[in-house]
């Protein structure tokens, strides 16, 4: 099966893609294109999958850049291959030929570009990272490389949708402590449970920060098991582990 790559017309002048799980070498619960080196999948299968992604992005394997994601607001500026993965959740670069990549399994993968300035970024934005400012920090780092915020396009890829994201009252409390207006991203669920709209929150943070254009591809990772890995779905189905999707962008 060939790789399935979702793209955005807003980033059509740059090589980019939100890769689904289709077209990979992994099997079992990882069936498909598992690119998570931190998973318990066979390392040679993950290496094959990542090589396929690098080939699709038209870069060498060592130019498929990633970080050790820790749900932080930290951003790394990249100008070449990273032999050791720093602990961070976003990257920016103005160097052609580097594919910035993010791994997700429900969290938001966000690809950024100011094509006019020749500056790109990629961020892993789960609820914690988004609340702590990883999206705004990525924009700041892009500006330090010469991007203009009003020219930056940001696209959120496949992520968990509100109907699939049930949370408890303590989760709501964290968002209300940050800003009472965040209540609009929650809908009532069963009992004391709430349904959180992660992509709407991501779009709000991007637009409030003054990004030129922000959009979501409107794909839900939880509800489409044939195309996407989902951490939350793996918990509900009691799987031993779960695969990681990859999203990438390159100048």
Question: What is the DSSP annotation of 73-121?
Answer: S-EEE-SS--SS--B-SEEEE--TT-EEEEEESSSEEEEEEETTTTEEE
Instruction: State residue 195's pLDDT score.
Output: 97
Residue 71, both tokens: 């749900």
Q: Is residue 179 part of a domain?
A: no
> What would the pLDDT profile of 120-162 be if each residue is shown by its tens digit?
999 999 999 999 999 999 999 999 999 999 999 999 999 999 9
Q: Is residue 206 part of a domain?
A: no
Q: Is residue 217 part of a domain?
A: yes
Mean per-residue pLDDT over the chain, rounded: 97
Contact (CB, 8 A) for 123 and 194 = no
Separation CA 67–CA 88 (nearest Å): 6
Contact (CB, 8 A) for 31 and 88 = no
Sign of the dihedral defined by the CA atoms of residues 36, 37, 38, 39, in that order: positive
Q: Is residue 223 part of a domain?
A: yes
Q: What is the mean pLDDT of residues 25-46?
A: 96
Q: What is the mean pLDDT of residues 80-93?
A: 94
Q: Is residue 192 part of a domain?
A: no
- Provide the number of structural domains found in the chain: 1
Least Cα distance to 132 among 182, 175, 190, 80 occurs for: 175
The percent of residues above 90 in pLDDT, for the chain, comes to 97
Domain that holds residue 81: 5-159+213-250
Here the CATH number for the domain that contains residue 129 is 3.60.140.10
Q: Is residue 169 part of a domain?
A: no
Separation CA 57–CA 17 (nearest Å): 8
The CA angle 143-66-79, to the nearest 5 degrees, is: 50
Contact (CB, 8 A) for 212 and 11 = no
> What would the pLDDT profile of 210-238 be if each residue is shown by its tens digit?
999 999 999 999 999 999 999 999 999 99
Q: Is residue 198 part of a domain?
A: no
CA dihedral 162, 165, 167, 173 (to 10 degrees): -40
Q: What is the mean pLDDT of residues 68-78?
A: 97
Instruction: Please determine, for residue 119, whether its predicted confidence score (pLDDT) is greater than 80.
Output: yes
Instruction: Please determine, for residue 250, whether its predicted confidence score (pLDDT) is greater than 80.
Output: yes
Instruction: State residue 83's pLDDT score.
Output: 84
Instruction: Please determine, for residue 1, whether its predicted confidence score (pLDDT) is greater than 80.
Output: no
Q: Is residue 153 part of a domain?
A: yes
- Quote the strand ranges of the chain, DSSP E: 5-6, 15-19, 64-65, 75-77, 90-93, 99-104, 108-114, 119-125, 153-156, 166-167, 186-188, 194-196, 213-216, 245-250
The three-state secondary structure class of 154 is strand
């Amino acid at each position: 099966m060939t790789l399935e790559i979702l793209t955005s017309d807003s980033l059509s002048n740059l090589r980019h893609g939100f890769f689904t799980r289709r077209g990979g070498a992994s099997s079992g619960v990882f069936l498909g294109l598992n690119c998570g080196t931190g998973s318990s999948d066979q390392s040679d299968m993950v290496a094959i999958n990542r090589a396929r992604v690098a080939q699709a992005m038209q870069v060498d394997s060592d130019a498929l850049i990633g970080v050790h994601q820790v749900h932080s607001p930290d951003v790394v500026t990249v100008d070449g291959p990273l032999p050791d993965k720093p602990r961070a959740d976003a990257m920016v670069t103005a160097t052609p030929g580097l594919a910035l990549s993010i791994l997700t399994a429900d969290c938001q993968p966000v690809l950024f570009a100011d094509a006019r300035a020749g500056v790109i970024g990629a961020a892993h934005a789960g609820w914690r990272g988004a609340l702590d400012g990883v999206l705004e920090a990525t924009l700041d780092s892009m500006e330090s490389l010469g991007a203009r915020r009003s020219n930056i396009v940001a696209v959120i890829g496949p992520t968990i949708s509100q109907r699939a994201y049930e949370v408890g009252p303590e989760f709501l409390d964290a968002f209300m402590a940050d800003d009472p207006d965040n209540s609009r991203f929650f809908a009532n669920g069963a009992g004391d449970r709430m349904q959180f709209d992660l992509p709407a929150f991501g779009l709000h943070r991007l637009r409030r920060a003054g990004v030129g254009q922000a959009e979501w591809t409107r794909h839900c990772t939880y509800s489409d098991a044939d195309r996407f890995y989902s951490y939350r779905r793996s918990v509900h189905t009691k799987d031993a582990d779960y695969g990681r999707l990859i999203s990438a962008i390159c100048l």
